[in-house]
Structure 1
């Protein structure tokens, strides 16, 4: 990439690399490491025409989640504000955008593809009384 005047790198992490998940210490550490490495690479190579970004998927309906069964899929979707699982195409579209000229001023970013999961929590009651 340096010899060719630049390029784009899109690394794959997970929302678990941004927000910890109990019982998954090695996985979380690995994904957080990908994010940190990518951010430093983005800084180190930005002035040489190389952009480095990260996609951080949340619950995506992959073959692993399909094999886990309907109950696990429903539970995973309950943690997502959009109330559904993401698709492999959702992740692929994020990678395509980060690789395209349309994102030409984007480097060092972590793009969640998580249906709003990292935005916070949806609370059904906000403790207000309607007047």
Structure 2
């Protein structure tokens, strides 16, 4: 949650930064593809792209990692905050929890935000 009058500007700036300088890896995981629903395009790690068809335009980025885990990022529609949706793949619940926390800490660090 971003405090004060500049909170909405902070949210927009962070999303713009992610669109302009997308992640290539996070928490030791290589990004295999980035789904950019604002620009209707999927960009793969080899540089190829594919148009997203049939979905409404929305300021959402979805990162797919080499192990099948995902991170979706979007601004809140009602509050000045950015939301993260993390899905992990693994064999044990402990491992999944550790991986999710690592992805969360990684994106917070990348955005220069305090991990809570």
Calculate the TM-score normalised by the size of structure 1: 0.26
Tell me: higher relative CO, structure 1 or 2? Use CA pairs within 8 A at least 6 residues apart. 1
More helix per residue: 1 or 2?
1
> TM-score, structure 2 length as denominator?
0.29
